[in-house]
Structure 1
Amino acid sequence: MRRPGTHRPRRAVLTRVAAAVLALIAPLTACGGQSPEANAPAPVTRFTENGVTVALSVSDWQASKGTLTAVFTPEEGFHLYSTELPATGIEGVGRPTSMNVTGALAAAGEPKAGAEARDISLPGVDAPVPVYPDGPVTLTLPVRAGADGDATVLFGYASCSTGEGCTIPVTDHPVHLRVTAAGATPAAP
């Protein structure tokens, strides 16, 4: 029996501290105590070209339908152009961030960006140019498969920095996939 004014036993204090810590971090973790990144689809493939790394994954594959997710990660301090930018840019400046499919896959909607574009003014360009904030941009594209077979995902983008200029635009960088009822995986070279 505890006397008034005495401290609780260490075990009880440690148990309450541990419970409080778990309550604080629980919203930050996914089921099973894993981080949210652990539950994200694993990249099917990735490549780096002209200062941007693109990681492609496939998720929610059911009944020959799924979602392609591409994370475009430019070098630090660089931004990407909006998906809404015309194919040749604005007054020749910039190239849209894009993801298109051909072959056994067809788009089942428009690509959606996970970031809001903002307009910037550039010297020598009369119209505003829509860009995403510096850093990674995620595009998602719902797709459907007509039949098993080969598909190609074509990526396009350009990255720029206010201090370091722009990289050479990338147009139609191909990523080849093999599509089956089970999903889409990298095609054998």
Structure 2
Amino acid sequence: MKLWLVRHAQPLIPSGVCYGATDVAADEQATQQAATALAVLLPQRIQVLSSTLQRCELLAQCLRELRPDLTYKVDARLVEMDFGCWEGLRWDHIPQAAFERWTADFGGHRFGGKESVSDVMQRVASAWDETHRLRLDTVWITHAGVIRAASLLAQGVRHVAQADQWPREAPAFGGWCELQFTEQT
């Protein structure tokens, strides 16, 4: 069973701004290009789950126009991490002390007061486990943080305690990666 992890297209927000769970739109042309590339790749009648944020829903909508044979659902578990009071601020304007508190307790600290990495891992693991139980090839249209969490789940990692455990790599905007479910994952 295969899981495609698709990242939304370039959001319409200045570079360097923390926007996690903020519901910002994505560039329409870049979204259409991503949908077109994805449409030719996906097998018939695959299930597509999308984050509820508009930058992901737009990609799902564009894909639906190209591939009406696919099954579409929205899933709030695929939303990016909520950075609370830091949402909408430039990353370089967030006090260094806030980053230090987060790094000291990377898994448990609610950076910005809303959600911790452990919270994100738990909700992504819930979607992961459900997808695995269904034994259907599936596409998640989602965010970099969710994709990073899923890559850890694919390795059997369900808890992250330290910042250096968190993956740095994620697909570019509008890109994707594929994971293969095995009996161990």
Q: Which has the higher contact order (CA 8 A, sep 6+)?
A: 2
Q: TM class by shorter-chain length? A: under 0.3
- Quick check: which has more Rg, 1 or 2? 1
Task: From the two aligned structures, give the one with the greater strand fraction.
Answer: 1
